Amino acid sequence: MATRKSTAKRSASKRSPTQSATRAANKSPGKSAAKTTAKRQRDVQAQTMARNAKAPKAKKQPVQAGMRRQPEPPLSRQHLAKPGREADLTIAPRYLAEDYVGSGKLNGMVAIVTGADSGIGRAVAVLFAREGADVAVLYLSEDNDARETALQVEAEGRRCLLISGDVRDSRFCDQAVTDVVQKFGRLDILVNNAAFQQHAKRIQDISDAQLAETLQTNIGGYFHMARAAVPHLKRGASIINTGSETGLFGSKELLDYSATKGAIHAFTKALASQLLPHGIRVNAVAPGPVWTPLNPADRAAEEVANFGKDSDMGRPAQPEELSPAYVFLASPVTASYINGVILPVMGGPYG
């Protein structure tokens, strides 16, 4: 008897601390509840997986969320020579925003919009005029497109000044701002929107010439225009830069363009801090894919036809779907406390 007791004591003394803890846990009052919870979770898992297996496979469809139906891929199968004329597009970009009713948010103001002969710039110029602003349209060389923008601005009852030139040239930017102030007597809003874009599949395919063109137009031009405009801007004025989803996420075939758009976002925030004590706000709009001459003047016709198909909305935006964001940021009525913001207008969180 003594031998059996001593053997039991020796066995107990040989148990490891882990074994002892496990035995204690198995006797814990919470163990039963834990097992019940684990089983319940497995039941939920099984039920959900069974429902998922029976669910029909939904084919992605373009999303329409506005007042009127917008064009969906396939779009025009066409390639344009740079810089791209809006008048040459088979499917014309929509810029009139016919459902947008002006309410005097920019009454008496004067705006400069670069790259306003077409695309986003044209749409912004039209809505600025509808809200009461006179508009100077800066553009490269597309005279017919620029005249169409001017006609639409004037149809809104406002004055329009057309100025052709290259924002890479700081002397042109200085003179353009001077001409606008002389013509209209003031300057309240600068929209930097002019851009150059060219896809390249490999970094080694981007020449020094392409790199220089992209950098000097997209970030150099913004810098030149802002530097020329700031001495004329008063408290309540604003600068709005056109950024891009590529500046947020990058784009593997737009290395140089993505780099400039990221730089524009940083430039926006830095300049916003610098000008804030003067009551001048600086913000940016970051569009997703937008149907303008920019992409048809950049990609092969077949790629253009499917432009925007892979976006969150399954289609590109039309310029008139972007322009209200510029009005919002430009007006001290709606955005007096908004400064240094990169406003994504991408149709979804990932563009």
- Return d(Cα 265, Cα 219) in angstroms, integer: 10
Beta bridge partners of 139: 164
Distance CA 107, CA 97 (A): 19
**């593997």: which residue's tokens?**
252
Give the C-alpha separation, 77 to 79, whole Å.
7
Separation of alpha carbons 295 and 277, rounded Å: 39
- C-alpha to C-alpha distances, 232 to 55, 123, 186, nearest whole angstrom: 61, 25, 7
Q: What is the enclosing helix (H) or strand (E) of 319?
A: helix 319-330
**Using an 8 Å Cβ cutoff, are 139 and 161 in contact?**
no
DSSP 337: T
Closest to 215 measured CA to CA, from 172, 143, 167: 167
Backbone dihedral angles phi then psi of residue 317, each to the nearest 5 degrees = -75, 155
DSSP state of 306: T
Does 257 participate in catalysis according to the annotation?
yes
Whole-angstrom Cα distance, residue 255 to residue 259? 6
From 95, 139, 257, 326, the catalytic residue: 257
> Which residues are catalytically annotated?
257
